[in-house]
Amino acid sequence: MIVLRSIIFVLAFQFLFSSFLASQTHKEKADLLITGGIVVTMDSTRAILDDGAVAVRGDTIIAVGPRNELEARYAASQTIDAKGKLVLPGFINGHTHVPMTLFRGLHDDVTLNDWLYKYIFPAEAKNVNEEFVRWGTRLAAAEQIRGGVTTFADMYYFEDAVAEETKAAGMRGVLGETFIDFPAPDNKDESEMLAYTEKFLKKWQGDPLIHAAVAPHSIYTCSQRTLQDSATLARTFHAPILIHTGEMKKEWEDSEKQNGMSPVQYLDKIGLLGPDVVSAHCIFVDAYDEKTLAKKQVGCVHNPSSNMMIASGVSPVAEMRAAGVAVGLGTDGPAGSNNDLDLMEEMDLAAKLAKITKMDPLALNAKAVVEMATIDGARALHMEKEIGSLEPGKKADFILISLDEPHAVPMYDIYAQLAYALKGSDVETVVIGGRVVMRDRRLLTVNEEEAIAKARQYKKSIAASLGL
């Protein structure tokens, strides 16, 4: 009996092992397989797969399709079960100033002028250094990953430190060093800015995550020469140009007075506009400007929270989209103008703000704002070949969203649920360039406790520096 049992055991084992080998040998290798979720691809057909899967090799998506097909085709070293969850391209925060997390809530509810000149400029002069920028970026990375943001476009100072921290957090960034016609916390004049930025652009060339960029602040803080010099530098290195455009009424009025034309037309006239430019805000743009932006393939970024909070005005988002402009979504800085980095809130707000402004509930719908947070955000950053949708060949940037909260059910329409009901806190798992940076709400690339503790310390020193 014992002998017989042993023989049966050995035979059974051999059979199972050879079956296993056979099943493995004809499978292609993958590094990561996401299985069983509702895959919202945001591809050109806006395909949604009810029981889908995504296969990843290295930092790239190699297949998107039905779960059973991909499970049969790929043997993955890591598998994440997404059953009952949404799988989406990571959100793209098209405009922000991440180190300003450390100024979050420092004097809201004041005029922009008071905020800038009484509070933020003095606070920046007294507190912003490379160390500040590093801690602010770490805190922002934690917050953005938690909310499903995988790529963000930033404009600040010490942008090389922002880039190092962004890379360390495993996030994708379009990171612009600021040019401005007054002494900045990092560089005191244009020649310093040019030297710093050239070094910065050289350093990050070819990096898989970091797109070093040039950020002339705006037409009201930069001379024509600063604008043109910074653009020339950017174009020498094929780097993106990030700029605030048509954000404020005074900017538009002054441009009409001084240049005899709108901010957009002025930027076009001096050779700044092109398919490498990302214009934040675009509130004071008219139909002619919209055509120019579309023709020059400028990407625009709408920041509804900021525009409402500062009372800047309402961007003609629907009109720009209709004119063929790529319009993304941004949070703007998390101080004075939001005060967080939650792109899902911006989706909700973008739709609701357009509706109430036009007194038309059809003005901008749920699908449109999800597009703005994903594929259109990628187009606005001129990165649509790289990110923004779940398609083979694109970078493996995606998020898993839980549907197990009371506010997540029932779900009649996925886009409506994303825009109007689901929250940043529903994001469970985040993958950027094939690397899992958050798993089941646990951050894997940022020391969150340390960043939070440091932010509390900074609060004390910043408040003291302002005599608060």
Q: Which of residues 226-245 bind its own copies (CB under 8 A)?
A: none
Is residue 146 within the footprint of its own copies (CB under 8 A)?
yes
Pick 366 or 437: Cβ nearer its own copies: 366
Residue 72 corresponds to which tokens in the numbers above?
Answer: 């049969």
Is residue 399 within the footprint of its own copies (CB under 8 A)?
no
Pick 79 or 425: Cβ nearer its own copies: 425
Question: Phi/psi of residue 44, each to 5°?
Answer: -65, -25
Question: How far apart (Å, rounded) are the C-alpha atoms in residues 300 and 372?
Answer: 10
Pick 41 or 101: Cβ nearer its own copies: 101
Is residue 118 within the footprint of its own copies (CB under 8 A)?
no
Residue in 58, 105, 260, 324 binding its own copies, rule: CB under 8 A: 105
Residue in 75, 116, 294, 309 binding its own copies, rule: CB under 8 A: 309
What is the residue type of 255? S
Query: Whose CA is closest to 376, among 342, 350, 341?
Result: 350
Options 3-11, 70-78, 105-113, 206-214: segment touching its own copies (CB under 8 A): 105-113
Query: How many positions of this chain bind its own copies (CB under 8 A)?
Result: 73
Query: Whose CA is closest to 275, among 247, 244, 241, 246?
Result: 241
Options 174-182, 220-228, 315-323, 445-453: segment touching its own copies (CB under 8 A): 445-453
Question: How far apart (Å, rounded) are the C-alpha atoms in residues 52 and 61?
Answer: 14
Question: How far apart (Å, rounded) are the C-alpha atoms in residues 393 and 58?
Answer: 11
Write the DSSP symbol of residue 90.
Answer: P
CB of 361 to its own copies, least distance (A): 5
255 in Cβ contact with 289 (< 8 Å): no
Question: How far apart (Å, rounded) are the C-alpha atoms in residues 444 and 401?
Answer: 17
Options 56-64, 169-177, 270-278, 336-344: segment touching its own copies (CB under 8 A): 336-344
Is residue 108 within the footprint of its own copies (CB under 8 A)?
yes
Residue in 151, 245, 265, 339 binding its own copies, rule: CB under 8 A: 339
Let me know the angle formed at the C-alpha of 356 by 352 and 360, rounded to the nearest 5 degrees: 100
Is residue 436 within the footprint of its own copies (CB under 8 A)?
no
Is residue 168 within the footprint of its own copies (CB under 8 A)?
no
Is residue 411 within the footprint of its own copies (CB under 8 A)?
yes
Total number of residues shown for the chain: 468
Question: How far apart (Å, rounded) are the C-alpha atoms in residues 445 and 467?
Answer: 35
CB of 430 to its own copies, least distance (A): 14
Q: CB-hemisphere CA count at 13 Å for 25?
A: 6
Pick 32 or 432: Cβ nearer its own copies: 432
CB of 80 to its own copies, least distance (A): 22
First-to-last C-alpha distance (Å) of the chain: 86
Is residue 363 within the footprint of its own copies (CB under 8 A)?
yes
Options 53-61, 204-212, 393-401, 413-421: segment touching its own copies (CB under 8 A): 413-421
Pick 265 or 307: Cβ nearer its own copies: 307
Query: Whose CA is closest to 158, among 120, 181, 187, 194?
Result: 187
Is residue 431 within the footprint of its own copies (CB under 8 A)?
no
